[in-house]
Amino acid sequence: MYNTMQRISTLLLIGLIALSAATAGVKPNGLISDNAVLQRGTSVPIWGTADQGEKVTVGFQGQTVSTIARNGQWIVRLKPLKAGGPFTMRINDLEFKNILVGEVWICSGQSNMAFTVAKGDNAESAVAASKDSMLRLLTVPQNDNGEPALAWQECGPDTVGSFSAVGYFFGRDLRKELDVPVGLINSSVGGTPAEAWTSRAVIRANPDLRYLLRDPVRTGKGRPGGLYDAMIVPLQPYAMRGVIWYQGEANASRAQEYRTLFPAMIADWRNAWGQGDFPFLFVQLAPFTPKLPEGAWAELRQAQLVTAITVPNTAMAVITDLGEENDIHPKKKEPVGERLALAARALVYGEQIEYSGPMYTKSVVLGDKVILCFDHVDGGLVVRGETLAGFAIAGADGNYVPAKAEIRRDKCVLVSSPQVSEPTAVRYGWSNWMAVNLYNKAGLPASPFCTCDFPMKVVD
């Protein structure tokens, strides 16, 4: 009897040791944790590491999916999930609680995306009103070595202050309008150029960009491909709805190159995630007086405008009314997040709302005058003030002079100057820091532009 009991005890001990070893060997990606938000309505990958040949079983929302780890890696895919929660996920004998299903967005860029709620306008009231257990926040730490440590948190006064202000206000508005859980992943680092967020393979494959890998190669956070590897690759292929992006200041001295680099970066991310042309919503640079030649930031804004026009499923939030002349980090981040949310609500979630300020589309030359046409006028163009400001006109000599501008037929602007008898180009808001006042009736400002990128039609 004693030997039998001893044998049973030994077998139980062996079983517990084996079970403990199996559990210890299975490790999901850090994004799969307590308090996480999973994307609704699409196939959801769950992945991680385990011992070679180990069976991994994932159970969630009534689904059970298994696989065998190969080369230390495993991945399963859950069928499309319905919004709601909280739910519990089981991976072998691991248990993750308080998981929601809803809308997931990645918030990325440089310092104006990293800028926290605690530093912005009306921070105290924003933090006090932030409690929402259905809004979850995750900040990716800057990390150049290995997989970053990740942790989802419920949004509230104890957590929101250190989170991206633009990201938070964007997510807060989506929560209000969609009434489903929202998860925000903030992966942003101040002072970083777009090439740091682009894979080296894409940079190397582009003849206009590959020099970035041959010049004295930069190190640190500006290193081409560095932040992509450290802070974007670890997020792939986490299912998400789209990206909001606030960056460009670090590339303002190379605006012409940005016309190639920025679309290449967007295409790079889309290709890596394998979710098709997911929404990519971004912020145009605010007015500011940098230590750069006059017009450098205007040229970068034009590069952003061209991207918004030419790259599918993108939208641009214009913030010409939110800049601070001597501060590269304007503190009014709430309307920035709100404008990005407008774009998401219209383009992604199908609301019939105006989401953009007036965008220049074409021009017609009539003698010594130019008629500029716009879309996104939302019932008509309006001027905030007595007269339109910020327009300049040039002739064949390329010298721009201030122009008189008047709204015509609610969606056009007539521009002229007695100094230019045969106009060839028009600019609006073409300076680093500017005062401009063209809006639509939705209260959204017009994007700065130069007609030089868009042929002007001449009518006799």
**pLDDT tens, position by position, 409-425:** 999 999 999 999 999 99
Q: Do 384 and 331 share a structural domain?
A: no
pLDDT at 15: 46
Q: Do 241 and 317 share a structural domain?
A: yes
pLDDT at 17: 41
Q: Do 369 and 336 share a structural domain?
A: no
Its pTM stands at 0.93
Q: Report d(CA 65, CA 1) in Å as an integer.
A: 42
Q: Do 176 and 318 share a structural domain?
A: yes
In a domain, 97, yes or no: no
pLDDT at 10: 45
pLDDT at 142: 86
End residue of a domain, out of 281, 314, 347: 347
Written as one letter, the residue type at 341 is A
In a domain, 80, yes or no: no
End residue of a domain, out of 347, 380, 406: 347
Distances 225 to 72, 142, 157, 330, 458 between C-alpha atoms, Å: 25, 14, 35, 28, 45
10 Å Cβ neighbour count for 285? 26
Q: Do 277 and 154 share a structural domain?
A: yes
In a domain, 276, yes or no: yes
Residue 228 domain boundaries: 102-347
Q: Do 176 and 118 share a structural domain?
A: yes
Q: Is 74 within 8 Å of 94 (Cβ atoms)?
A: no
pLDDT at 145: 62
In a domain, 46, yes or no: no
Q: Do 216 and 277 share a structural domain?
A: yes
pLDDT at 86: 98
Q: Do 165 and 231 share a structural domain?
A: yes
End residue of a domain, out of 347, 370, 400: 347
Kindly give the parts of the chain with pLDDT less than 50: 1-2, 4-5, 8-22
Look at the chain and report how many structural domains it folds into. Answer: 2
Q: Do 376 and 282 share a structural domain?
A: no
What values do phi and psi take at 395, rounded to 5? -100, -160
pLDDT at 183: 98
C-alpha count within 13 angstroms, C-beta hemisphere, residue 433? 12
pLDDT at 3: 53
In a domain, 221, yes or no: yes
In a domain, 148, yes or no: yes
Tell me the helix, strand and coil percentages in the chain, rounded to 5: 30, 30, 40
In a domain, 66, yes or no: no
**Residues ≥6 apart with Cβ < 8 Å to 249:** 110, 111, 112, 285, 290, 328
Question: What CATH number is given to the structural domain containing 236?
Answer: 3.40.50.1110
In a domain, 308, yes or no: yes
Q: Do 311 and 200 share a structural domain?
A: yes
Q: Do 367 and 237 share a structural domain?
A: no
Q: Report d(CA 240, CA 45) in Å as an integer.
A: 10
- Select from 94, 198, 165 the least CA-distant residue to 335: 165
pLDDT at 144: 60
Q: Do 194 and 291 share a structural domain?
A: yes
Question: What CATH number is given to the structural domain containing 401?
Answer: 2.60.40
